[in-house]
């Protein structure tokens, strides 16, 4: 059974104006199910209900009680991990093994922020005039969380959990392509004890309800993950009300391999750093810089590893790369490959049969002015280029509007730290491709975003800092 309606004030609610989101199974191109889209009336109801829930109890709940409820949410998510993973996999074609990992990640995020409730506090300050001066971290009120379709469940969790832990109420808007696990999150959290209205879920197209949500006078903060273009639009709308925003946006992350690295290890690990989730990953290491003496060896090993990646049915636990989210997304990716004519493209063809599948594509010989090199393709496409010296390589690395993530492979510790400092990105890994750690801040430099998700930093972004002075005179 698929969830069908927005989840508002603790109930699954059919909207007043019936508009349906038609979902297609990207693995088969067959219709999957329909979900009713929230209209403007439901956005109003959801925000008003969240504000009521905020004022009538959630913000004043003793912290221990709030933590207890969030732990209960984590538990129910773990109990339903199979169901959540299956929904996600059918909805967006995510390989089931990845979907199971992401369901567990969502639960883990709730556990982390349940524990964080008691470890996030203000400070006392020795002010010049004496007396007693201290700070409080106060919730903002209603937070709008707007999330994309590539990691629907974990991103919904990593926005909702810290916002709720800090004492806010949340209106969650999933992408129109991927509403199923967001609705289930709302339902399950309520079943676990989250009071009605504290987490509302309004599926619907961004163009139809997104602006109304962002501009709603009771919404104090917008936490957005999605494209840089829509992020800029949201920032503009938010500016009118001086609303708080945090933005997690696009990326074009570098993967830098020095000749002194364990080249075989780097080459074996690198394909899935860009092709996982069919390349629909903001952290995809889609620009690979390889020091010239090891370029051929790296490329050979990279190709060898890519050739044996299992592209296929997302329901199969062995599958590593499923279909893209839709046939339209596949066409966008193919347009980049078509425009890269004249470059050597290996792979990038459609397997026979149904579904929005595309085999991984490796582009060699790209110039740094090529769109496939510069722009976020959001598909299984990588460009690999040789470099000769560190300084010019770093100039190329940083010659991008984005700055989200990246990797450096070297066995020279000094170089690793020097280069890691110089790469303009919010997240970086050395001899690894890991980007996301529940306990550590995640976000971008430059046009990759503003503010940080995850870790204790996320809590700062969901609170206002108040300073209180007590006179001792």
Nearer to ligand NAD, 289 or 378 (CB): 378
Nearer to ligand NAD, 2 or 445 (CB): 445
| Residue 40 contacts residue 210 (beta carbons within 8 Å) | no
Among 384, 405, 406, residue whose Cα is nearest residue 306: 384
d(C-alpha 348, C-alpha 358), whole Å: 6
For tokens 């506090």, name the residue: 121
Least distance (Å) between residue 155 CB and ligand NAD: 6
For tokens 């069919």, name the residue: 278
CA 58 vs. chain centroid, Å, equals 26
Alpha-carbon Rg for the chain, nearest whole angstrom, is 23
For tokens 């221990």, name the residue: 64
**H-run or E-run covering 244:** strand 244-248
Residues constituting the chain: 473
Classified as helix, coil or strand, 192 is: coil
- Residues in touch with ligand NAD (CB under 6 A): 146-151, 173-176, 205-207, 210-211, 214, 225-227, 230, 233-234, 248-251, 282, 376, 378, 404, 444, 448-449
Inter-CA distances, 404 with 248, 394, 453, Å = 9, 15, 12
| Residue 93 contacts residue 313 (beta carbons within 8 Å) | no
Least distance (Å) between residue 244 CB and ligand NAD: 15
Least distance (Å) between residue 306 CB and ligand NAD: 22
Nearer to ligand NAD, 77 or 146 (CB): 146
Nearer to ligand NAD, 400 or 410 (CB): 400
Nearer to ligand NAD, 211 or 264 (CB): 211
Tokens describing residue 382: 């990588």
Q: Are strands 244-248 and 381-387 parallel, antiparallel or unpaired?
A: unpaired
Least distance (Å) between residue 353 CB and ligand NAD: 26
Question: Does 283 participate in catalysis according to the annotation?
Answer: no
| Residue 257 contacts residue 293 (beta carbons within 8 Å) | no
Least distance (Å) between residue 211 CB and ligand NAD: 5
Structure letter (DSSP) for residue 209 = I
Active site residue: 282, 283, 366, 383, which one? 282
Least distance (Å) between residue 151 CB and ligand NAD: 6
| Residue 154 contacts residue 106 (beta carbons within 8 Å) | yes
Nearer to ligand NAD, 295 or 402 (CB): 402
Among 453, 470, 422, 388, residue whose Cα is nearest residue 143: 453
Residue partners of 354: CB distance under 8 A and separation at least 6: 27, 28, 29, 30
Active site residue: 88, 248, 334, 376, which one? 248
Nearer to ligand NAD, 291 or 376 (CB): 376
Nearer to ligand NAD, 89 or 410 (CB): 89
Least distance (Å) between residue 135 CB and ligand NAD: 29
Question: Does 318 participate in catalysis according to the annotation?
Answer: no
Least distance (Å) between residue 91 CB and ligand NAD: 13
3-state helix vs strand vs coil in the chain, percent to 5: 40, 20, 40
Residue partners of 141: CB distance under 8 A and separation at least 6: 51, 54, 168, 169, 218, 219, 220, 221
Least distance (Å) between residue 443 CB and ligand NAD: 7
Residue partners of 282: CB distance under 8 A and separation at least 6: 150, 225, 248, 249, 250, 251, 376, 404, 405, 448
Tokens describing residue 362: 């490796």
Among 462, 23, 417, residue whose Cα is nearest residue 246: 462
Nearer to ligand NAD, 214 or 321 (CB): 214
DSSP 380-411: SEEEEEEES-HHHHHHHHH-SS--S--EEE-S
Residues serving a catalytic function are 248, 282
């Amino acid at each position: 059974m698929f969830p069908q309606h927005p989840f508002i004030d603790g109930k699954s609610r059919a909207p007043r104006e019936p508009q349906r989101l038609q979902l297609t199974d990207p693995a088969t191109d067959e219709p999957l199910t329909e979900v009713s889209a929230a209209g403007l009336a439901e956005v109003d109801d959801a925000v008003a209900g969240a504000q009521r829930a905020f004022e009538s109890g959630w913000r004043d709940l003793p912290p221990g009680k709030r933590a207890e409820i969030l732990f209960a949410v984590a538990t129910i998510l773990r109990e339903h991990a199979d169901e959540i993973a299956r929904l996600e996999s059918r909805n967006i074609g995510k390989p089931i093994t990845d979907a199971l990992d992401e369901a567990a990640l969502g639960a883990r995020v709730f556990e982390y922020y349940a524990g964080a409730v008691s470890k996030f506090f203000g400070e006392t300050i020795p002010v010049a005039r004496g007396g007693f001066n201290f700070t409080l971290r106060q919730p903002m009120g209603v937070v709008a969380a707007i999330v994309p379709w590539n990691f629907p469940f974990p991103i919904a969790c990593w926005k909702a959990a810290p916002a709720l832990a800090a004492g806010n109420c949340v209106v969650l808007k999933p992408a129109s392509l991927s509403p199923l696990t967001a609705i289930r999150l709302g339902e399950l959290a309520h079943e676990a004890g989250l009071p009605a209205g504290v987490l509302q879920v309004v599926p619907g197209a961004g163009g139809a309800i997104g602006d109304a949500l962002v501009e709603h006078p009771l919404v104090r903060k917008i936490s957005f993950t999605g494209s840089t273009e829509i992020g800029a639009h949201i920032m503009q709308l938010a500016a009118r009300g001086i609303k708080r925003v945090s933005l997690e946006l696009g990326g074009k992350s570098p993967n830098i391999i020095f000749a002194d690295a364990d080249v075989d290890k780097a080459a074996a690990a690198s394909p899935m750093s860009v092709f996982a989730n069919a390349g629909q990953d903001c952290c995809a290491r889609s620009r690979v810089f390889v020091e010239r003496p090891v370029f051929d060896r790296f490329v050979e090993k990279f190709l060898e590893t890519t050739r044996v990646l299992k592209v296929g049915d997302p329901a199969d636990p062995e599958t590593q790369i499923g279909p893209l989210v839709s046939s339209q997304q596949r066409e966008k990716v193919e347009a980049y490959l078509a425009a890269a004519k004249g470059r050597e493209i290996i792979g990038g063809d459609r397997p026979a049969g149904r579904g929005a599948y595309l085999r991984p594509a490796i582009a060699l010989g790209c110039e740094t002015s090529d769109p496939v090199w510069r722009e976020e393709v959001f598909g299984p496409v990588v460009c690999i280029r040789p470099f000769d010296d560190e300084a010019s390589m770093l100039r190329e690395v940083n010659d991008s509007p984005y700055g989200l993530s990246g990797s450096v492979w070297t066995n020279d510790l000094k170089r690793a730290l020097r280069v890691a400092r110089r790469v303009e990105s919010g997240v970086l890994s050395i001899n690894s491709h890991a980007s996301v750690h529940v306990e550590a801040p995640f976000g971008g430099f430059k046009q990759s975003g503003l503010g940080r998700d995850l870790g204790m930093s996320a809590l700062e972004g969901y609170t206002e800092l108040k300073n209180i002075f007590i006179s001792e005179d």
